[in-house]
Amino acid sequence: MDDSPLQVLTVATAPYPDQRHGSGGLRRMVNVFQTRKHYLHNFIQSIFSSIDLRDRQGSTVMVGGDGRFFNQTAIRVIVQMAAANGVGRLVIGQHGIMSTPAISCMIRKCKAIGGIILTASHDPGGPNGGLGIKFNTANGGPASEAVANKIHQISRTIEEFAICPGLQVDLMTLGRQTFDLENKFKPFTVEIVDSVESYANLLRNIFDFAALKELLSGESHISVRLDAMHGAAGPYVRRILCGELGCPANSAVNCVPLEDFGGQRPDPNLTYAADLADSMRDGQFDFGAAFGGDGDRHMVLGKHGLYVSPSDSVAVIADNIFCIPYFQHTGVRGFARSMPTSAALDRVAKATKIELYETPPGWNFFGSLMDAGKLSLCGEESFGAGGDHIRETDGLWAVLAWLSIMATRRQSVQDILKDHWLKYGRNYFTRYDYESIDIDTACEMMEDLEIIITDKSFVKQRFAVEDKLYQVEKADSFEYTDPVNSSLTRNQGLRIIFSDGSRIIYRLSGTRINGATVQIYIDSYEKERLSEDTQVMLAPLATIALKISKLHHRTGRSGPSLIT
């Protein structure tokens, strides 16, 4: 075997204009990475170059992903480039798989300067699906806007990248591998790890595992159905919920990560996790949960498939926060939600006199507040919720939070939800997604809409549908000033707020891989009518939203691709 030091090469390249690190990193169809020369290399080099050389040299970086097609190929390139860029140690999930919350946990635990996460979250996988590359920084959370902008700037002028093409890593075998390079850097090490134990340990310090075990496998235990949707959450669900907390093995399904997620979209909502909802309909299970492809998102269902909307989920957790021992110790510093998320959480914040922050979508905004000690619990309507134990949304954490509430209150999901609405009233919420819209059409629509809604005459305008009358109270393009570092983030969605507090919000998704996705978020508050059908309740506002935007006319669509 040749044991001479590995060669480090500098390879000339040409920039691409479109390598923007959005709220979910850089997401493209797999074939973009396969066919555009050095597309992957350019972006990885831009990430490494965004880190000051003094910080990078000898540093630790985490790498892992959701197990989708092309991840391992990409990881092998990342290893070769990390070595050539002076990184001292890479810690990688076995087979390249690690859930996003576990990566966040491990970045913090290993004092890494950051992590590269190979995930396109809820977007489809397989050879015809998407690929995503996300950079998380030393706090364990997604790159801030400033770091994302720096990466983008570098990618637009990049001329070369560094790589060790001869370095062949074994991603399958647990343990340490050491490589000698011909440059002056110390030996480069790669550690292949099983992150489940570290992550489980974190959760053990947050929740009362004995109480959870009693709930899930004690004498009068509840029965649960957990669907990992063939994503990265599977191994964690198996080992923590089944192995340690005693759920029967057959209560956890789709726990083997697959490169194409079994042909399904790993998006935990009623459309893509329909199998879970179906299996719960007959009342066999008391509690159900589905997890997103990289284990960050979650959907909670009660008996007979009772749906808990994500906006309600975080509000319920907030109202019962002291059922979670971690918060008994840390206290509660603040609550936060993304702007499109319904205001259910605001009502809890008001009642408990806890500060409430309203941020743009994307966990990086929450991370900034958490780092400053201002935030303990947050959530997004996009099926994300989490605490300040890490800096990512955390599906398993949210499920254990719900189970902790059930264990403490000895109530069903249905009773907990009903009680919540009785106490606070109900925020009905829905989101319409129009996917794969031509980008120019979508941008023009948003530009025209902004002109319409920000015109002075728009405020006080009335819209009548059937017997409902709505008067505009406020309309704007949402912008956010981070209370910690005063950075301003603009163009985060067009808001129409009516005098009764109902809202219509229009926004372009920042994470889609194909064309543009126009999202319309609709919510309204009801104090008395608590058990109505969400779509029926929000139908008048949906009609108004489509009328103002002329969305169907402009796009030729007759309805949304997805309703959540």
The answer to whether the CB of 275 falls within 8 A of the CB of 299 is no
In the complex, the smallest distance separating the C-beta of residue 507 from ligand G1P, rounded to whole angstroms, is 7
State how far the Cα of 241 lies from the Cα of 213, in Å rounded to an integer: 9
In the complex, the smallest distance separating the C-beta of residue 292 from ligand G1P, rounded to whole angstroms, is 8
The two beta strands, 335-338 and 356-359, are parallel
In the complex, the smallest distance separating the C-beta of residue 132 from ligand G1P, rounded to whole angstroms, is 10
CB-nearer residue toward ligand G1P: 243 or 510: 510
Kindly state the helix (H) or strand (E) to which residue 60 belongs, with its residue range: strand 60-65
In the complex, the smallest distance separating the C-beta of residue 174 from ligand G1P, rounded to whole angstroms, is 29
CB-nearer residue toward ligand G1P: 285 or 506: 506
**Residues across the chain:** 564
Six token digits for residue 105: 């946990």
- CB neighbour list of residue 544: distance below 8 Å, 6 or more residues apart: 463, 465, 470, 504
State how far the Cα of 417 lies from the Cα of 426, in Å rounded to an integer: 10
Structure letter (DSSP) for residue 58: T
Residue bearing tokens 């965004």: 50
Task: Give ∠ CA 211-336-388 in degrees, rounded to 5.
Answer: 50
Residue bearing tokens 């409902």: 468
State how far the Cα of 537 lies from the Cα of 525, in Å rounded to an integer: 10
In the complex, the smallest distance separating the C-beta of residue 54 from ligand G1P, rounded to whole angstroms, is 31
From the list 121, 313, 502, 549, the catalytic residue is: 121
The answer to whether the CB of 277 falls within 8 A of the CB of 283 is no
State how far the Cα of 334 lies from the Cα of 368, in Å rounded to an integer: 13
- The residues of the shown chain that bind ligand G1P, judged by CB under 6 A, are 23-24, 121, 338, 361-363, 380, 382, 509-511
The answer to whether the CB of 413 falls within 8 A of the CB of 400 is no
> Would residue 313 show up in a list of annotated catalytic residues for this protein?
no
Residue bearing tokens 């990248």: 161
CA quadruple 46, 48, 50, 53: dihedral sign: negative
CB-nearer residue toward ligand G1P: 235 or 362: 362
The answer to whether the CB of 109 falls within 8 A of the CB of 359 is no
Six token digits for residue 156: 């637009």
The answer to whether the CB of 294 falls within 8 A of the CB of 232 is yes
| CA distance from start to end of the chain | 57
In the complex, the smallest distance separating the C-beta of residue 96 from ligand G1P, rounded to whole angstroms, is 20
Catalytic residues: 121
